[in-house]
Structures are given as C-alpha cells and as structure tokens.
C-alpha cells in the first residue's frame, strides 16, 4: 500500500503542526486505487480536546467533512494528526482510534518528520509515502 500526496498538501499539514501548541488533526480526502491511497485534498479540523498529547474530532464536524467529500466525489481515505515532542509513530490512543477508523493515518511532527500507518487486522503496518508535485 502507498499513500500518494501532493507536496503542497503535505506542506500544509507540516506547517499546521509547526505552528501549533496542540495536536493538529484532520482528514485526507481522495480515492483508493489499485493498492494506492490517492489524496486529492486535505481538510483541517478542530481538535476538540485542545490538547498537546491527544486529539479528537467532533462528530458533527466529521459529518460535515463527509458531506464535503461526497460533493467533491471523494471519500475520507485517511486521517492526519501531529505529535509534539515524540516521533511520528502511533500512540496507544492512536492505535485504539485506528481500530475504529481503519484507513491510513498520517502522523507528522512539529520538526517536519512524517510517517503513515494502517492497521490490518491487529497488525500495525507502515505505509509507503509518495510525495508528488
């Protein structure tokens, strides 16, 4: 599996993380195609916990993003969020979230590191990231 994301979208996420004192979060909107996750756009959401160590997206905002994606002919293909002061590896809470949202999770750091993950069954797997222009 590969996550294909435009440089401008990845840079937008990294900039959000760099300038925030709390975990930033949002959705990757796009399509799944032949083992690849194609990101067409990213949609920032509010972290309703306002926390530097965890995030949560408000259900009404999730519904709003689902409607936006449908109008664009896209779907939610992933979730992104940031980690402050720790590597871009899923935390225990992230793992629990991945059990509910079984799509790609892109985790970035305020220092510019990023990695993507997916949960297959009970196994955590890293996803290759391809950045396009």
Q: For the chain, give every domain's residue range.
A: 2-132
* Distance separating alpha carbons of residues 15 and 11, to the nearest angstrom: 6
Residue among 39, 37, 42, 40 at smallest CA distance from 2:
37
pLDDT of residue 9: 98
**Under CATH, to which class is 2-132 assigned?**
alpha beta
Residues labelled as active-site residues: 23
Q: 123 pairs with which residues across the strands?
A: 120
pLDDT along the chain (133 residues), means of 10: 97 96 98 95 98 96 98 98 96 94 96 96 95 96
């Amino acid at each position: 599996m590969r996550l294909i994301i435009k440089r401008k979208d990845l840079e937008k996420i990294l900039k959000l993380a760099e300038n925030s004192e709390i975990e930033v979060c949002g959705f990757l909107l796009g399509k799944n195609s032949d083992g690849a996750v194609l990101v067409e756009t990213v949609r920032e959401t509010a972290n309703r916990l306002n926390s530097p160590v965890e995030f949560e997206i408000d259900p009404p905002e999730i519904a709003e993003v689902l409607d936006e994606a449908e109008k664009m002919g896209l779907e939610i293909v992933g979730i992104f969020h940031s980690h402050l002061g720790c590597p871009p590896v899923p935390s225990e809470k992230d793992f629990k979230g991945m059990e509910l949202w079984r799509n790609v999770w892109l985790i970035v750091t305020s220092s510019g590191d990023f990695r993507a993950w997916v949960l297959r069954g009970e196994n955590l797997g890293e996803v290759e990231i391809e950045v396009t222009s």
